[in-house]
Chains A and B, each alone.
Chain A
Amino acid sequence: MKTMEEIKAAIDAALPGAVLEIVPNPSPSGQRSLRLAPSHAFQVAKFLRDELSFDFLSNATGVDWPDKEISEKVKVARTVTKTVDGVEQAVEESVEETRKRVEPGCLEAVYHLFSIALGQGPLVIRMRTVNRTDEVELPSLTPIWRSADFQEREIFDLFGIVFTGHPDLRRLLMWDGFKDHPMRRDYVEPDDFEYEPTAHDEVLARAQAHRAAQSASPAGQEGTVSGE
Chain B
Amino acid sequence: MVDETLKIELGKQGVFVTTLQELYNWGRRNSIWPMQFGLACCAIEMIATTMARYDLARFGAEVFRPSPRQADMMIISGTVTKKMAPQVVRLYNQMAEPKYVIAMGACAISGGPFKQGYNVLKGIDRYIPVDVHIPGCPPRPEALIQAFMTLQKKIDAQPLTGEGRPRFLDAEAQGEFPVPVQGEHDLEPTSNQGVWPLPVVIR
Chain A 8-30, CB-CB to B under 8 Å as 1, else 0, gives 00000000000000000000000
The residues of B that contact A174 with a CB separation of less than 8 Å are 83, 119
> Contact partner of B184 among A177, A194, A196, CB < 8 A?
A177
> Of A179, A197, A203, which contacts B185 at CB under 8 A?
A179
Query: Which of B59-67, B159-167, B170-178, B190-198 has 4 or more CB atoms under 8 Å from chain A?
Result: B190-198
B residues less than 8 Å from A227 (CB atoms): 202-203
Chain A residues whose C-beta falls within 8 Å of the C-beta of B119 in the assembled complex: 173-174, 182
Chain B residues, Cβ within 8 Å of A189: 118
Given contacts A182-B118, A182-B119, contact A222 B198 (CB under 8 A): yes
**A190 CB-CB contact with B under 8 Å:** yes
Q: Kindly report which residue of chain A lies nearest to residue B123, judged by CB atoms.
A: A195
List the A side residues contacting B193 at CB < 8 Å: 221-222
Task: Give the residues in chain A near B14, CB-CB below 8 Å.
Answer: none
Cβ of A223 under 8 Å from chain B: yes
Q: Interface on chain B toward A: helix, strand, loop, or mixed SS?
A: loop
The one of B184, B197, B199, B200 that contacts A179, using a Cβ cutoff of 8 Å: B184
Count of chain B residues near A, Cβ 8 A: 21
Asked if residues B200 and A226 are in contact (CB atoms below 8 Å), the reply is yes
Question: Cβ of A178 and Cβ of B200 under 8 Å apart?
Answer: no
Q: Report whether B185 and A178 are in contact in the complex, using a CB–CB cutoff of 8 Å.
A: yes
Q: Which residues of A contact B199 (CB under 8 A)?
A: 195, 197, 223
Q: Is the CB of B182 within 8 A of A192?
A: no
A224 interfacial by beta-carbon distance below 8 Å: yes
Bound state CA distance, A51 and B182, in angstroms? Answer: 46
CB pair B185 A190 closer than 8 Å = yes
**B122 on the interface (CB 8 Å rule)?**
yes
**B186, B191, B199, B201 pick with most chain A CB within 10 angstroms:** B201
User: Chain A residues near B202 (CB, 8 Å)?
Assistant: 226-227
Contact partners of A182 in chain B: CB under 8 A: 118-119
Q: A134 within 8 Å of B by Cβ? A: no
Distance of A196 Cα from B182 Cα, bound (Å): 23
B186 engages A192 (CB within 8 Å) = yes
Known A173-B119, A203-B116; contact A225-B200, beta-carbon cutoff 8 A = yes
Minimum C-beta distance from A215 to chain B (A): 13
A225 to B122, CA, bound (A): 17
Whether B83 and A173, one on each chain, are in contact in the complex, defined by CB atoms closer than 8 angstroms, is yes
Known A223-B197, A224-B200: A192·B83 in contact at CB below 8 Å: no
21 A–B contacts, CB within 8 A, in A order: A174-B83, A177-B183, A177-B184, A178-B184, A179-B184, A182-B118, A187-B118, A190-B185, A194-B198, A195-B198, A195-B199, A196-B201, A197-B199, A202-B116, A222-B198, A223-B200, A225-B198, A226-B200, A226-B202, A227-B202, A228-B203
In order of increasing CB-CB distance, the 4 nearest A-B pairs are A190-B186, A223-B198, A179-B184, A175-B182
Contacts A190-B186, A224-B200 aside, 19 further interface pairs with beta carbons under 8 A come to A173-B119, A175-B82, A180-B185, A187-B118, A189-B118, A192-B186, A192-B190, A194-B198, A196-B201, A197-B199, A221-B193, A221-B198, A222-B193, A223-B197, A223-B198, A223-B199, A225-B198, A225-B200, A226-B201
